[in-house]
Amino acid sequence: MVRSNEWVRTGIASLAICVAGGALLWRGTDGFRALTSEAARRRAIAESPRAVPVVELEDQDGLPFTLADYRGQPVVVDFIYTGCGAVCPLLSDGFRRLDRAEQAVPRSDDRRRLQLVSVTFDSLDTPARLREYASHYQADGRSWRFARVRNARDLAPLLRSFGIIVISDGRGGFQHNSAVHVLDRQGRLARLLDVGATPNEVARAAAGTGQ
């Protein structure tokens, strides 16, 4: 009698553990679809676009601007540093393809043109270095701009709002998560695409994030 009683209790406990544990695992991994924090970041942003702080940037020519200046226009942003030998060249190659493809499209309204902004998180990247980097990628510096924050203290909040985590690689460089960040027409961070996203994918994401 006692024995079977204990089995019943064990059964109840096991069931409760499976239900509660399964539910927590499900919640904690967005239904087993986000096993990494990067996947979770993408899902969270796609589900609810988030505002990004209006931070003063300066481009490769030292001209001041903010991402809010692009409101109403499709714009993609990435985070790079010019000394990067790992993922940034891939990001920048992808941005060059996007920029070229965009220039090849005739548009009656320039406000509908895709704009690209590459923001550096390395304090060593001066406008001069950004200019050199831009010319390496044959960017005109207008439809595709390279920027750094004007005030160093703005960098951390900017990176945090985008969900970019930069860690030192111990050799003077950095490792960082990377994506093509699509802003919607209200200037909110609305979608993340893979490095090397095609012009079609970007166009679809930018359209999907419309009004």
Partner 1 sequence: MSRAWVAALLFVALVTPVAREALERVMVAHMLVQIPLLAIAGALGATALPSLLKSRVARWNRSGLSGTLLALIASTWWMVPRSLDWALASPLMESAKFVTLPLLVGAPLALSWSSLGTMGRGFVIANVLPMWAVVGWAYIAAPVRVCNYYLVDQQVITGVALIAVSVALGAATALPSFAGRPRSG
Q: Is 10 in the site for partner 1 (CB under 8 A)?
A: yes
Own/partner pairs, 36-44, CB within 8 angstroms, 24+ separation: 38/177, 38/179, 41/163, 41/177, 41/192, 42/179, 42/192
Tokens 């359209």, residue located: 207
Among 73, 175, 186, 198, which residue interacts with partner 1 (rule: CB under 8 A)?
A: 175
Nearer to partner 1, 39 or 101 (CB): 39
Nearer to partner 1, 94 or 187 (CB): 94
| Contacts (CB under 8 A) with partner 1, residues 16-35 | 17-18, 21-22, 24-25, 28-29, 34-35
Q: Is 138 in the site for partner 1 (CB under 8 A)?
A: no
Pairing verdict, β 115-120 and 75-80: parallel
In Å, how far are 27, 42, 48, 159, 188 from 33, measured between CA atoms? 10, 11, 17, 24, 24
Residue count, binding to partner 1 (CB under 8 A):
29
Contact (CB, 8 A) for 90 and 196: yes
* Rounded (5°) CA angle 147-152-155: 65
Residue 22 CB, nearest approach to partner 1 (Å): 7
Q: Is 90 in the site for partner 1 (CB under 8 A)?
A: no
Report the interface residues with partner 1, using CB under 8 A. 5-7, 9-10, 12-14, 17-18, 21-22, 24-25, 28-29, 34-40, 165, 167, 169-170, 175, 177
